A and B are shown apart, each in its own frame.
Chain A
Amino acid sequence: DQQVKQNSPSLSVQEGRISILNCDYTNSMFDYFLWYKKYPAEGPTFLISISSIKDKNEDGRFTVFLNKSAKHLSLHIVPSQPGDSAVYFCAASGGGSEKLVFGKGTKLTVNP
């Protein structure tokens, strides 16, 4: 039973355009959400996070939106750059559980 779902295994966008990566969750107790970026042969690196008390968090080209009623969050990258090509993982924690639950990841390819 997957509690964090990333239903798109891959996404391809043109350089300069917007990339939108989606994530759904089923556990209503989750109250903290994070996005990680992973390059091949490296460990995931933290990108951006959002608490359930907010609906938007922005950091440079990266913005995360949270829709609690829909149990959905998305990561927007604007403008996309070839260096953004990586696998992006959505992760969630909360409900008294002190661990992160990860989605399966979405592979983003930004074409020059």
Chain B
Amino acid sequence: EAGVVQSPRYKIIEKKQPVAFWCNPISGHNTLYWYRQNLGQGPELLIRYENEEAVDDSQLPKDRFSAERLKGVDSTLKIQPAELGDSAVYLCASSLDRRASAWETQYFGPGTRLLVL
């Protein structure tokens, strides 16, 4: 079974440029998460989707970040414009559902490492 797929794996851009990340979750997983992991830190949730609905985006910096999950499957996360502080690893994860017991079924993708110069 294929895991969570993310692309690109690495991205280097100059500040003020736009950037987009793509995620394909595990088939059948209704819940999709985007996390940001800064250097030396643990992952922090940016947004959670239940099917195509964003049910928790309280940590998403909405002035420059946007996300969508069309048709409840693939998802994209966009930053426009990027700032130096956005350099981080952006992780996508998916799980069967949002119950606490489902955390064990939360699988992470390899992440996209973003460097903003």
A interface residues (Cβ-Cβ under 8 A, vs B):
4, 9, 31-32, 34, 41-46, 49, 89, 91, 93-94, 98-100, 102-105
Contact = CB atoms under 8 A, between A and B. Distances in A.
Contacts of A94: 100
Given A4-B42, A41-B110, A93-B100, 19 more contacts: A31-B100, A34-B103, A43-B4, A43-B91, A43-B107, A44-B43, A44-B108, A46-B104, A91-B103, A93-B103, A98-B48, A98-B56, A99-B48, A100-B43, A100-B45, A100-B103, A100-B106, A102-B42, A104-B42
A49 B103 contact: yes
Contacts, number: 58
Max chain B C-beta neighbours (<10 A), residue from A34, A43, A94: A43
B98 interface: yes
A46 B103 contact: yes
A43 B42 CA distance: 11
Contacts of A43: 4, 91, 93, 107-111
Interface residues of B, number: 21
Contacts of A46: 103-104, 106-107
B45 A42 contact: no
A104 B37 CA distance: 10
Nearest to B89: A43
B50 to A, nearest CB: 10
A4 B91 CA distance: 19
Contacts of A91: 42, 103
Contacts of A103: 42
A16 to B, nearest CB: 28
Given A32-B103, A34-B103, A93-B103, A104 B48 contact: no
A30 B56 CA distance: 18
